[in-house]
């Protein structure tokens, strides 16, 4: 294609030169020497036509150019060949432009396909990375779940061990408590019986209630009535004072043994009971 273009340019330049020469010769047609140069110019034009004819269509290339043709005819043929070459050249340039556009489009499509392929590869790689991260996350969650289950099992084991220890301690303490209870009960039953003081018997035939004299001495009502019926003895006041003092002393002595016996009985009652732990 480049060679054809080069030849077309050369032929165009030669045709332009020849046309200029022809114009000059036509101007000087009536001058001397035209007859000599006419044949030479015609031969050169014919040679140019023969060179350019293969570049045109096959129908034009099959034409035969004769040397006896008129110069005007050869010039017209040269112009037509030059026109055909120009048209073919423009068509070729257009075709080349179309081809270049197609080529550019193909290159763009190729680049787009390459970019799309690269994007797909990047997307696939990101998906694989995401899947691997998800797998790692699932493994971490599973490990955490396993650890939590192990911790719960460990807590249950510890609780069972503590409960077993408490039960064993309670079972060990229960026989001791039973022995303590049995010992306390044996001690309680082995104590001698408590002797309570005997109450003085009161004669039911004489239900006389005691009375109180002015000297705060309890006297039965019968004795008080007899004393009131009998006249008071004519004794000096000193002897009556001694008697009252003696009576008080005697009655205090007689009342003390009963109180002491009651106190001893209460002490014996307290000694008869022991503190027993019921735990």
Angle (nearest 5°) at CA 85 between 81 and 89: 170
Q: Which two tokens stand for residue 171?
A: 């079972």
pLDDT reported for residue 68: 47
Domain-embedded: residue 211? no
Query: How many domains would you assign to the chain?
Result: 1
Residue whose structure tokens are 């556009």: 101
Range of the domain at 39: 2-110
- pTM reported for the whole predicted model: 0.31
Domain-embedded: residue 151? no
Question: Which residue stretches of the chain have pLDDT < 70?
Answer: 1, 25-38, 55-71, 176-279
pLDDT reported for residue 45: 75
Domain-embedded: residue 62? yes
Domain-embedded: residue 218? no
Domain-embedded: residue 92? yes
Domain-embedded: residue 69? yes
Domain-embedded: residue 16? yes
Domain-embedded: residue 47? yes
Query: What is the tens place of the pLDDT at every residue in 204-246?
Result: 444 444 554 544 444 455 555 555 555 544 544 444 545 566 6
Query: What is the tens place of the pLDDT at every residue in 37-68?
Result: 667 777 777 777 777 777 665 444 445 555 44
pLDDT reported for residue 254: 55
pLDDT reported for residue 171: 83
């Amino acid at each position: 294609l480049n060679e054809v273009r080069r030849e077309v340019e050369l032929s165009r330049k030669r045709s332009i030169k020849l046309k200029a020469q022809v114009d000059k010769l036509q101007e000087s047609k009536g001058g001397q020497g035209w007859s000599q140069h006419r044949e030479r110019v015609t031969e050169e034009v014919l040679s140019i036509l023969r060179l350019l004819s293969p570049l045109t269509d096959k129908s034009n290339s099959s034409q035969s150019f004769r040397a006896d043709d008129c110069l005007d005819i050869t010039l017209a043929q040269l112009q037509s060949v030059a026109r055909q070459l120009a048209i073919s050249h423009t068509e070729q340039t257009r075709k080349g432009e179309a081809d270049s556009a197609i080529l550019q489009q193909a290159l763009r499509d190729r680049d787009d396909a390459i970019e799309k392929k690269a994007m797909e590869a990047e997307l696939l790689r990101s998906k694989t990375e995401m899947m691997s991260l998800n797998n790692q996350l699932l493994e971490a969650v599973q490990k955490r779940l396993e650890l939590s289950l192990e911790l719960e099992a460990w807590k249950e084991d510890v609780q069972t061990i503590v409960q077993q220890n408490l039960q064993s301690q309670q079972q060990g303490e229960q026989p001791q408590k039973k022995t303590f209870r049995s010992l306390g009960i044996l001690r309680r039953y082995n104590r001698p019986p408590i002797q309570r003081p005997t109450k003085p018997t009161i004669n039911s035939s004489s239900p006389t209630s005691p009375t109180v004299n002015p000297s705060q001495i309890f006297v039965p009502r019968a004795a008080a009535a007899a004393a009131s019926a009998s006249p008071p003895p004519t004794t000096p006041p000193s002897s009556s004072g001694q008697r009252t003092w003696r009576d008080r002393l005697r009655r205090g002595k007689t009342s003390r043994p009963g109180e002491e016996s009651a106190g001893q009985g209460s002490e014996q009652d307290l000694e008869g009971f022991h503190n027993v732990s019921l735990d």
